[in-house]
Chains A and B, each alone.
Chain A
Amino acid sequence: MTSLNVNRITTAARNVTATVAGAIPTVTINGERANKIITWIGKNISSPENRLILGVTALMSQPFIDLHNRKVDEETRKVSAARTVAKIIAGTLTGVLVRKGCIKAIDAFSMLPSQITSKTKWPWLRTLFTPDSAISGVLTDLTHHKNALGTIISLFVMTITNFAIDAPLTKFLTNKFVDKIKEKDAIKAEEAKLKQTTQQIIAQQKPQEVKEVARG
């Protein structure tokens, strides 16, 4: 049942892709700088950077989506946006750091046999995550392999940090933001009250002034 659904989704995605690809014009990227940037992206952007991009763009879009959700009242909108911002900050911070850390850890134990010297500490552990294809010399660049393995390991680490760091940090930041919102709302309400009182005093004083002018 599940595999059937996945197949349906994949087929739908392929059909959309084929139709759209057919309608897109031919493009040639001639600029040397543009090609260098594309190559750099392919070599250097992996899951931590992807998570960071996701977090930054989330901060630019999701709070506004929450603030413009007309189906809920204003207070819910504000709290929801505050929680979204808190969740993005906590999630991005943990996500990027854990991914980076796991990739770094995998990197230390995915050495090529040629990289191991007599000075290398724990040489028997250094090829723990090195695939057979790299040991036999077929695979020479392990960058993507290390990123992939590090990311997979980080997902399991993040199942724990999700509770240990993300959730409490989200709660803490949400409370901070909500307090700020309430503080601002209270100041606004006080200002409005003051304005109303001033207007009432002015309104009361005006007839007296008119009377005084009439007497004079």
Chain B
Amino acid sequence: MANFLKPFVNWVAKNYGDNIGKMLIHTGVIGWILSSAAQVVAIMINDKIPKKQKMYMIPQEIADAGVNIISFYLITQTFKGLGSKLVDTGRWLSGPVRKFLLDNNIQNVGKKGFDVLTQGHLTPEMMTKFKDFRSGMDVIFTTIGTVLSCNIVTPIVRNEIAANRQKKSIKTMEEPYNVVSNQSIFTQNPYMKRPTMDSFTGNSYARTSVYPNSSSLKI
């Protein structure tokens, strides 16, 4: 049991042992993927949904998940990267570390390409202070990115997509009634104004789904 788990445990320690921001982003992305996968499985195993509808709903669910995951990763990674860059180059530093670098006449602090860890010649005490500051800033920037992505950008994008989908569904739901009332058109070409499979399944989904936009159910 222990031997079976050890490679995974060691891998976690190596990759996330001192990088909390990276862990938050990666587990966030895994969270979105698992959440969306669970929704897809829920559709797949739901006996009440006909097979033809499933063929439409599953790609739709995956598309929704794609928007969520890309938005989350892009925004959060950008913020985390910004925080790391500001601290690593020495642009943003704590007072004691800045004073140490100035006292030791370290050049190019805060300039592009400078790395405090490798070029700052920090003492063990200063190294601890720098790493503590770096870890704190990492969490702050990652959290800002997460909040911005999950609570502002994603809901706006999702609402836009859902509103367009709803509009399309309502429009196509009205179409069959027009066809019935206009027999001449119907007899000329029986397939002319019939709803497409996509619109039909879209309408059914909009009417029957308990959880529309369910991939937004983040875990």
Binding site for B on A (CB under 8 A): 9-10, 12-14, 16-18, 20-22, 24, 26-31, 35, 37-43, 45-47, 50, 53-54, 57-58, 61-62, 65-66, 69, 71-72, 76, 80, 84, 87, 91, 94-95, 127-134, 139, 144-145, 147-149, 151-152, 155-156, 158-159, 161-163, 166-167, 170-171
Tell me the interface secondary structure of chain A in the complex: helix
Cβ B133 vs Cβ A45 within 8 A = no
CA distance A10 to B77 in the complex (A): 8
Cβ B151 vs Cβ A38 within 8 A = no
Cβ B18 vs Cβ A35 within 8 A = no
A50 partner, pick from B14, B70, B146, B166, beta carbons under 8 A: B146
In the complex, chain A residues whose CB is within 8 Å of the CB of B143: 45, 50, 53-54
Q: Does B95 contact A (CB under 8 A)?
A: yes
Q: Does B219 contact A (CB under 8 A)?
A: yes
Nearest A residue (CB) for B70: A9
Distance (whole angstroms) from the CB of B155 to the closest CB of chain A = 5
Interface size class of B (residues with CB under 8 A): 35 or more
In the complex, chain A residues whose CB is within 8 Å of the CB of B98: 28
Binding site for A on B (CB under 8 A): 1-2, 5-6, 9-10, 12-20, 23-24, 27, 30-31, 34-35, 37-38, 42, 70, 73-74, 77-78, 81-82, 85-86, 89, 91-96, 98, 110, 112, 132-140, 142-143, 146-147, 150-152, 155-156, 159-160, 163-164, 166-167, 210-211, 216-219
Contact flag A39-B12 (CB < 8 Å), given A28-B94, A29-B94: no
Cβ B86 vs Cβ A24 within 8 A = yes
Cβ B20 vs Cβ A46 within 8 A = yes
Tell me the interface secondary structure of chain B in the complex: helix
A87 partner, pick from B30, B138, B216, beta carbons under 8 A: B216
30 A-B residue pairings within 8 Å (CB atoms): A13-B77, A13-B78, A27-B86, A27-B92, A37-B136, A38-B132, A38-B137, A39-B136, A40-B136, A41-B140, A42-B132, A42-B135, A47-B24, A54-B150, A61-B151, A65-B159, A66-B159, A69-B159, A71-B159, A71-B167, A91-B219, A95-B219, A131-B12, A132-B6, A133-B17, A144-B18, A145-B17, A151-B27, A155-B31, A162-B38
Cβ B217 vs Cβ A167 within 8 A = yes
Cβ A69 vs Cβ B163 within 8 A = yes
Distance (whole angstroms) from the CB of B9 to the closest CB of chain A = 5
